[in-house]
Structure 1
Amino acid sequence: MSGKEFTVDLNKPLVFQVGHLGETYQDWVHTPIMTEESPRFFKSDFMEMLTRTVWWVVPIVWLPVAFYFIKMSHTMGLPLPLVAILSVIGAFVWTFLEYCFHRFLFHLDTNSYWGNTFHYLIHGCHHKHPNDGLRLVIPPAEAAILAVMFWNLYGILFPLSIRPVMFGGGLIGYVLYDMIHYYVHHGQPTKPSIKTLKKYHLNHHFRIQNKGFGITTTLWDKVFGTLPKTKAAEKSR
């Protein structure tokens, strides 16, 4: 059966269905379903549990880990002012990683069975069901795998005493990313800067999905030319 002939049954577990969409997957996954219902992903209750995460789990799990690693660098001899500066730098580095993940991994153009399945699991589900509050932040098990990867990478990039604080600062950046991402979807911000981020991100979801990849900042979209034009600028052309 070709992708054009396959229809996803929303009443059945979705993950192992979407791969059958083939070349029609991209159109399907970027046509959102605007309900707050959390769809079933897997038949297994255990697997299903691993895909659902309430937002407050992220700071509870990862902030203590972040401060542990930051303190480790101080224990290894780095003065507190330098630790504070490197923590901020680590969080700033995260904003670049966040942009790269979102642009180059989360928006892969897939059409194979396993490519579609992988994409749906890591990000496609969020575009298909943008109001699903239980699949908006990264599950701890998935985040832990990424954390181990970055800890090992930072071991190559940084000296022994600087590695922990850069890693810890990055974790703080990640927590801010997930909290801001959740809030721009489900919160009603009154602060102008957060209202702007909300408008910016919803524009990515519902208007121009191949631009506007930043969540915590628009900086890297400006640097790499993926800043979407405003409606006013488009009308003036």
Structure 2
Amino acid sequence: MKLLSTDHSPMAYALDFVFYGAACLALLGYLVVLAPLHHWGRLAGWALLGMLAWTTVEYALHRFVQHGLLPFSRWHDEHHRRPEALISTPTLVSAALFLGLVYLPTRWALGPSPAAALTLGMLVGYLFYSTVHHAIHHWRMDNAWLRQRKRWHAQHHHVYPVSGYGVTTRFWDGLLHRATTRWLTR
């Protein structure tokens, strides 16, 4: 079924960015209109937590799912073989995961406004990751930070495929490398 394909047409690939941009705006609009003013500080904290949590999810998905779990690793191998191809998780799948693993459990545990704020943060993180990943594969780089990300990601693709799992940050790669090295040298 084409809706569940990882190899996208240019339109389907672009619609993913549009969908997540619109979802971020919708969640932000919901919070601005319906969340009580005296909760905005706490909700901003939930959104920030969501953005930070995304970096952990990004690393874990890439390292343990896309590089270790069938059939995801087979699909991801195709991205490594054709890095310029428009390959990504189908929007239907990623949206269902955000809904089922982030929004609904948080809504059940904390209520609608914290769930919207946490999900907003995660979606902003995901949209940022998607944009950076697209940029490092398709754009010419004038920005030093993006050039650094491009070099780091190119090493992951071509030189050290067992490292460099973070696309937007090297934090988790560095932390887990130091922890593993310390554990192995005991």
- Quick one: which amino acid aligns to residue 138 of structure 1? T
TM-score normalised to structure 2 length: 0.80
Q: Of 23, 36, 41, which residue of structure 2 is paired with 1:77?
A: 36
SS in 2 for 1:56: helix
The whole-number CA distance in structure 1 between the counterparts of 2:138 and 2:26 is 30
Identity among equivalent pairs (%): 22
Work out whether 1:101 is the aligned partner of 2:61.
yes
Q: What's 2:129 paired with?
A: 177
Task: Describe the superposition over 1:36-90 as per-residue Cα deviations: whole angstroms up to 9, x where unpaired.
Answer: xxxxxxxx7x468673143432221112212222333441325444434432331
Q: Of 70, 74, 93, which residue of structure 2 is paired with 1:142?
A: 93
SS in 1 for 2:165: coil
SS in 2 for 1:214: coil
Task: Describe the superposition over 1:12-55 as per-residue Cα deviations: whole angstroms up to 9, x where unpaired.
Answer: xxxxxxxxxxxxxxxxxxxxxxxxxxxxxxxx7x4686731434
SS in 2 for 1:161: helix
Distance verdict in 2 for CA 1:52–1:72, change over 3 Å: same
Q: Which has the higher helix share?
A: 2
TM-score normalised to structure 1 length: 0.64
Alignment size in residue pairs: 174
Q: What's 2:25 paired with?
A: 67
Maintained 8 Å contact 1:53/1:138 = no
Calculate the aligned-residue CA RMSD, in Å: 2.6
Q: Of 126, 129, 132, which residue of structure 1 is paired with 2:79?
A: 126
Offset at 1:141?
1.7
- Quick one: which amino acid aligns to residue 22 of structure 2? P
- Greater relative contact order (CA < 8 Å, ≥ 6 in sequence): 2
Segments of structure 2 that go 5 or more residues without pairing to the other structure are 180-186
SS in 2 for 1:190: coil
Distance verdict in 2 for CA 1:158–1:208, change over 3 Å: farther
The whole-number CA distance in structure 2 between the counterparts of 1:219 and 1:168 is 22
SS in 1 for 2:177: coil
Offset at 1:119?
2.6
Distance verdict in 2 for CA 1:152–1:176, change over 3 Å: same
Segments of structure 1 that go 5 or more residues without pairing to the other structure are 1-43, 110-114, 228-237
Offset at 1:157?
5.5
Offset at 1:213?
0.6
- Quick one: which amino acid aligns to residue 127 of structure 1? H
Distance verdict in 2 for CA 1:170–1:118, change over 3 Å: closer
Q: Of 188, 193, 218, which residue of structure 1 is paired with 2:140?
A: 188
- Quick one: which amino acid aligns to residue 143 of structure 2? K
Maintained 8 Å contact 1:138/1:178 = no
Q: What's 2:184 paired with?
A: none
Q: What's 1:35 paired with?
A: none
The whole-number CA distance in structure 2 between the counterparts of 1:205 and 1:95 is 19
The whole-number CA distance in structure 2 between the counterparts of 1:184 and 1:206 is 14
Q: What's 2:182 paired with?
A: none
Offset at 1:140?
1.4
